Amino acid sequence: MAEPLITDIQRYSIHDGDGIRTTVFFKGCPLRCAWCHNPETQRFTAEILYNAEKCSGCLRCTAACPEGGFDLLSGQFVSEHCISCGKCAEACLNGARELSGKYVPPAELVRQLVRDLPFYEESGGGVTLSGGEVLAQDPGYVMEVLRRLYEQGIRVNIDTCGQVPEEVLLQALPFTDTFLYDLKLAGAEEHRRYTGADNRRILSNLRAIGKAGARIRIRIPLIDPVNTSEQETAAMIEALAGIQGILSIDLIKYHDTGSGKYARLGRAYGSGMETPGEETLHRIARQFEEAGYRVSMGG
């Protein structure tokens, strides 16, 4: 299995669980959600992001490229032979090219994460492993990171889409404080339409970790009109019925803030997705509350 790559380590985050947290974004995800706001974390390989607004056209990048450069005129900023070596990004003086995806050995990653231990302790926070999908990375690597953090007394949240092997989730469970578990759509085929895979495995994994004693916060990204109807909320409530370990339902408002990254990766961004209005959000929250769940709103 390839070495896991990291796109970013965000310190002082307050959105990925309790307290002050450091969030690690792994590169590579089995799903392709139409609204993904971190598209640079979808592929498992390193990639170059190109920001045309910062580019002066000096062609230092082309000169530095061992694969023969690329054709700026055609708009193809990355040669089809690109090997993601990052030499063009190093050569660019304007920061117009950026290499996304770096391997960090487990011991080095944990060394960086331990630096914020005083903040975690003071705020009741910790580390959140996110992505992309952390549990789709090499399990040996992930378990080593989890064990080392556990030994340091750092509480870890795992932010997961759930489309991963059940045994990996169960292996990670003893070292995980809370799972931030995504639920996007209740219907299997609708789920496939918007994310590239149906949700059968996601729901059965959720049942399995709940039964095994996991603490779970369900995270629902709300995208109008994809998953904001009254019927869809009712179907989600039905899909979650009887699942153990659910602490809360976290509703996350969709924003198109990631759309600029698609252009920088040379990819198209989906259309017809809107931020839900306040009225819709409150109605969805009420539906979950009436079903007996604690609800939080963010995004």
Give the nearer residue to ligand SF4 in terms of CB position, either 92 or 134.
Answer: 92
How far is Cα of residue 232 from the mean position of the Cα atoms in its chain? 23
Least distance in angstroms from the C-beta of 69 to ligand SF4 = 7
Kindly state whether residue 61 participates in binding ligand SF4, applying the rule CB under 6 A: yes
What Rg value do the Cα atoms of the chain yield, rounded? 20
Beta-strand pair 295-298/246-253: parallel
Q: Does 58 bind ligand SF4 (CB under 6 A)?
A: yes
Which CB contacts under 8 angstroms, 24+ apart, belong to 88-95? 88/48, 88/61, 88/62, 88/64, 89/48, 89/61, 90/64, 91/60, 91/61, 91/63, 91/64, 92/60, 92/61, 93/58, 93/60, 94/54, 94/55, 94/56, 94/58, 95/51, 95/54
Please select the residue that binds ligand SF4; options are 2, 83, 107, 234, rule is CB under 6 A. Answer: 83
Helix (H, G, I), strand (E, B) or coil at 120: helix
Q: Does 127 bind ligand SF4 (CB under 6 A)?
A: no
Q: How far is the CB of 2 from ligand SF4 (least distance, A)?
A: 17
List the one residue from 9, 34, 55, 114 that touches ligand SF4 (CB under 6 A). Answer: 55
In Å, how far from its chain's centre is CA 199? 17
Do residues 27 and 40 touch, judged by C-beta distance below 8 A? yes
Shortest distance in whole angstroms from residue 6 CB to ligand SF4: 17
Binders of ligand SF4 among 90-119, rule CB under 6 A? 91-92, 94, 96-97
Binding segment toward ligand SF4, per CB under 6 A, in 59-67, 139-147, 149-157, 290-298: 59-67
Asked whether position 263 contacts ligand SF4 by CB under 6 A, the answer is no
Q: Give the phi and the psi of residue 230 in degrees, each rounded to 5.
A: -60, -40
Question: Judged by CB under 6 A, does residue 234 bind ligand SF4?
Answer: no
| 45, 56, 112, 204: residue in contact with ligand SF4 (rule CB under 6 A) | 56
Residues near ligand SF4 (CB under 6 A) are 48, 55-61, 64-65, 67, 70, 78-79, 82-88, 91-92, 94, 96-97
